[in-house]
Amino acid sequence: MRSSVMARVLLAVFLGALLLLAQGAVPSMKSVDPMTAKVGEELTVSGENLDKANVAEVYLTDGKNDYKATITQQAAETIKLKVPANTKPGRLALMILTRGKDQKYIEQPVKVTIEE
């Protein structure tokens, strides 16, 4: 009886670990360089889990308008992107669209100032 309880506990722990792995790593942006840019210029974003397996798209957003950036390079700890042509000047946040079955938009705590 005792061993069957232990087996159920181990099975539950194993299934929980599998579920966490199946969800994938959550992308997180930590910094952007340069912090001020113009339309067409390239930004380098540093963070974690930024590779193609986790990040589908990157946007600049002011909370009302979203501007899809073109990703030029992508790796686990960095993404390089171009500021889109239609981006309005101002202080904008970076936002990620995650990959996978249950895609999510995640606004990041990283901001960039776009100048005219």
Which two three-digit tokens encode residue 79? 């993404």
Answering whether pTM is above 0.85, one says no
Query: 49: which residues sit within 8 A by CB, 6+ positions away?
Result: 24, 25, 26, 27, 28, 55, 76
Please state, in angstroms and as integers, the Cα–Cα distance from residue 108 to each residue in 11, 35, 64, 113, 116, following that order. Answer: 36, 14, 15, 14, 23
Tens digit of each residue's pLDDT, the chain (116 residues): 556 655 565 545 454 444 444 456 899 999 999 999 999 999 999 999 999 999 999 999 999 999 999 999 999 999 999 999 999 999 999 999 999 889 999 999 999 999 99
